[in-house]
Chain A
């Protein structure tokens, strides 16, 4: 430190080294860890159940069931991941998805009652209306969180009740039939035995991943989650970015609502009410840091598939859904503990490593 003139260049390299070290440790390291771990669990579960019950588990029906059940939970989990990326949470997404599904079903069935042909021709517009409901719900969440300043968990706890309440009022608590036939028809086709629903899921995941990593707003969202003060001082309009995150979360909720209808042509206010907490589990298992900053779409997708594989594998070896619940809870807690232990270990290692870098630099 005494001799500043001579080490101008080495300083730079050390800086770069330290930079890449830190980035590798906290940035990629952590999120990749989640992805790698979920890939491992997915493959292990797949191998395990294939070994135990090859006939039942590898049956095309079973495999396509996994692929059909995954997308709705997967898309909701990706939405949850986006909210968690900014250090928040969105408890209202399942309610948003249901509201969007109910919007589509009601408008379509009312139009179809008057004139079937017109309803069929307007199906795209009706679906867009469903997505707009999601966007509107997201706007309300974003406004309450970003501009009013309510903690995300509270704001979305409240809006969950509001959206769910509106859905109950609208449907009268009944299950609605009569979703657009085109949607349910889509659920029945597949390309090379892969259901269209699953292809749509992968496409949505790729779109969100591209948005996060390539678009300006996506990068800003990541920075906001890592360090909101730094984001503010970098000239980012943090309030707007935070609000937009919840708008996109709401939009994905709307997309999930459409997926509900593709899988099942009915809609009701209480569909998937147990999903709220499940999608948090999936997001966290996929390597999302609940405090914000780190998350990957790939991790969440793999976590969704891993949990679905486990669920159907448990059925294949004739274990009950209750035993699956035990497995799910234990995996969540174990993964969290392992995560925490490895960060503690890394933190202990970090000063030593930087010391080594320093001594190397001094030697040269």
Chain B
């Protein structure tokens, strides 16, 4: 079962990490190394900072999706929740000419996100429905309500405080050629959120409950976890994170477009899955997800620097995803082979 190859600095399995984080880090380094080798322009602060900036919104989305996937579900409504919360908040504030600042705006949006997320959670956990189908329905529902009753017009002037944030950089490095590299200030909340979620998943009772339910919800119930309550909270949290991502999207883009975001859900899910989370639940880590998001960002933004035409981006992400999950599937198969008798017995019992 354990095929650990002894390396001079610890065992191979430890290097790999629980969810193949080690392999992902290697892939990321290899990707960066190859592109830098092919095109030295790539290896610069400018690329680093713009990749980080591009990762802010996908990372926060991915954190919400990660929690849902660990709990054994899948959420495709998060983009609808994000734009619903952000657009509604911006529209009401603009109509009332109120500007509570970034924090205030985020808090209001998070309230919307929580409500919509709880709605997902209630429908899913009370009626024990398949999560994909329910969130497909709520995606259509939320987007419909937003566009039909709240507004379908593009808002070009979000509250001024957001504009101020949009222009704030954390680090500015002006190179010798006069071209600057700017690290956007919003990477701080993204990193803080990632650390918070990692802490929550690993160190709190709620986090352990999420893993337990994703591993086996019946076992979790018998062990005394309040399954329904945890599930509702998982979707509420995913909704809140989506709302934060929505506000950041509006801030970074300096406009609120109700048609934005929806339609790119599968890309975020691909990043989370690439990051080692299992769609069957019970497995996944913030570190892996972050690496998954970064790898996809590098592919999307920088493959062109290695001489690969932009048209190949999508195919490249697809191939990486298939190879990634293929290796996982094959190694899982090898594991079950070595204990096949017991697994067949348990399968027969299950059925």
Interface residues of A (CB under 8 A from B): 89, 91, 144, 148-151, 153-155, 157-166, 168-169, 172-173, 227, 229-230, 273-274, 276-277, 280-281, 284, 290-291, 320, 322-330, 332-333, 336-337, 340-341
Task: For the complex, give the distance between the alpha carbons of A281 and B141 in Å.
Answer: 13
B316 close to A328 (CB less than 8 A): no
A159 close to B322 (CB less than 8 A): yes
* Interface check B144, CB cutoff 8 A: yes
A165 close to B313 (CB less than 8 A): yes
B333 close to A149 (CB less than 8 A): yes
B280 partner residues in chain A, CB cutoff 8 A = 151
8 Å CB contacts to A: which residues of B93-145? 123, 127-130, 132-134, 136-145
A227 partner residues in chain B, CB cutoff 8 A = 351
Q: A144-B326, A154-B279, A341-B127 are in contact. Are A160 and B137 (CB under 8 A)?
A: no
A333 close to B322 (CB less than 8 A): no
* Interface check B205, CB cutoff 8 A: no
A144 partner residues in chain B, CB cutoff 8 A = 322, 326
Chain B: interface residue count, which band?
35 or more
Output the least CB separation between B279 and chain A (Å).
Answer: 5
Task: For the complex, give the distance between the alpha carbons of A215 and B148 in Å.
Answer: 47
B139 close to A329 (CB less than 8 A): yes
B137 close to A337 (CB less than 8 A): no
* Interface check B348, CB cutoff 8 A: yes
Interface residues of B (CB under 8 A from A): 74, 76, 123, 127-130, 132-134, 136-148, 152, 263, 266, 269-270, 273, 279-280, 309, 311-319, 321-322, 325-326, 329-330, 332-333, 347-348, 351
B127 close to A337 (CB less than 8 A): yes
Task: For the complex, give the distance between the alpha carbons of A309 and B147 in Å.
Answer: 21
Closest chain A residue to B147 by CB distance? Answer: A322
Task: For the complex, give the distance between the alpha carbons of A81 and B76 in Å.
Answer: 19
A157 close to B141 (CB less than 8 A): no
Task: For the complex, give the distance between the alpha carbons of A291 and B128 in Å.
Answer: 13
Q: A149-B333, A277-B136 are in contact. Are A326 and B141 (CB under 8 A)?
A: yes
Task: For the complex, give the distance between the alpha carbons of A327 and B148 in Å.
Answer: 12
Task: For the complex, give the distance between the alpha carbons of A148 and B312 in Å.
Answer: 25
A328 partner residues in chain B, CB cutoff 8 A = 137, 140, 144
A327 partner residues in chain B, CB cutoff 8 A = 144
A158 partner residues in chain B, CB cutoff 8 A = 270, 318-319, 321-322, 325
A322 close to B136 (CB less than 8 A): no
Task: For the complex, give the distance between the alpha carbons of A162 and B321 in Å.
Answer: 10
Output the least CB separation between B1 and chain A (Å).
Answer: 18
A277 close to B76 (CB less than 8 A): yes
Overall SS of chain B's interface? helix
A277 close to B139 (CB less than 8 A): yes
B141 close to A154 (CB less than 8 A): no
Q: Which of A150, A166, A320, A337 contacts B325 (CB 8 A)?
A: A150
Closest chain B residue to A340 by CB distance? Answer: B127
Q: Which of B132, B148, B317, B329 contacts A323 (CB 8 A)?
A: B148
Q: A151-B325, A158-B270 are in contact. Are A290 and B315 (CB under 8 A)?
A: no
B279 partner residues in chain A, CB cutoff 8 A = 151, 153-154
B136 close to A281 (CB less than 8 A): yes
B314 close to A161 (CB less than 8 A): yes
Task: For the complex, give the distance between the alpha carbons of A220 and B317 in Å.
Answer: 35
A274 close to B133 (CB less than 8 A): no
B147 partner residues in chain A, CB cutoff 8 A = 320, 322, 325
A290 close to B321 (CB less than 8 A): no
Task: For the complex, give the distance between the alpha carbons of A165 and B254 in Å.
Answer: 30
B329 partner residues in chain A, CB cutoff 8 A = 148-151
B322 close to A150 (CB less than 8 A): yes
In the complex, given contacts A157-B273, A158-B318, what are 15 additional A-B residue pairs having Cβ atoms less than 8 angstroms apart? A91-B266, A155-B325, A160-B266, A163-B318, A166-B315, A168-B314, A280-B132, A281-B137, A281-B140, A323-B148, A330-B141, A332-B140, A333-B134, A333-B137, A337-B123
A330 close to B322 (CB less than 8 A): no
Task: For the complex, give the distance between the alpha carbons of A341 and B136 in Å.
Answer: 20
Q: A150-B322, A280-B136, A325-B144 are in contact. Are A157 and B266 (CB under 8 A)?
A: yes
